[in-house]
């Protein structure tokens, strides 16, 4: 069974530039999550989708972050404009029901 796919693995941008991350969840998983993990900290939930609807985006900085999950499958997380403090690993996860989340390898963003 293929795991959660994320791209790109690494991205370096200047502040005020924009960036987009892509995630393809495990086939059949209805729930998709984006987490932000700053170095040395635990993952922080940014947004949770159930199919193509948003379940929780209370911690998403909506002035600069946006996410969509068209057709209820893959998802894109965008940051525009990026700030220095957005440097982090962006983790995508999916689940097929209550319980275990399956994580991708993450996309590491460095903002200079």
Residues found near other proteins in the complex (CB under 8 A): 4, 31, 33, 35, 41-45, 48, 55-56, 91, 93, 95, 97-106
Minimum CB–partner distance for residue 29 and other proteins (Å): 11
Shortest distance, position 105 Cβ to other proteins, whole Å: 5
- Element spanning 32, H or E: strand 31-37
For residue 24, what are its two tokens? 């393809």
Of 14 and 100, the one with the shorter C-beta distance to other proteins is: 100
- Write the DSSP assignment of 56-108 as a string of letters: E-TTS-TTTEEEE-GGGS-EEEEESS--GGG-EEEEEEEESSSS--EE---EE
Supply the minimum distance, in Å, between the C-beta of residue 76 and other proteins. Answer: 18
Integer CA distances (angstroms), 84 to 6, 14, 58, 97, 109, in order: 22, 8, 21, 35, 10
Which is nearer to other proteins, 48 or 79 (by Cβ)?
48
Q: Considering the complex, state which of residue 82 and residue 91 has its C-beta at the smaller distance from other proteins.
A: 91
Q: Which is nearer to other proteins, 16 or 44 (CB)?
A: 44
The least CB distance from residue 81 to other proteins, in Å, is 27
């Amino acid at each position: 069974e293929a795991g959660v796919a994320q791209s790109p693995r690494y991205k370096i941008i200047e502040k005020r530039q924009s960036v987009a991350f892509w995630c393809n969840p495990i086939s059949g998983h209805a729930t998709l999550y984006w987490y932000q993990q700053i170095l040395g900290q635990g993952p922080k939930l940014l947004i949770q989708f159930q199919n193509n609807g948003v379940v929780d985006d209370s911690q998403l900085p909506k002035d600069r972050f946006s996410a969509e999950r068209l057709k209820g499958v893959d998802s894109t997380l965008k940051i525009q404009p990026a700030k220095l403090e957005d440097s982090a690993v962006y983790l995508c996860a999916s689940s097929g029901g209550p319980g275990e989340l399956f994580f991708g390898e993450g996309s590491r963003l460095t903002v200079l």
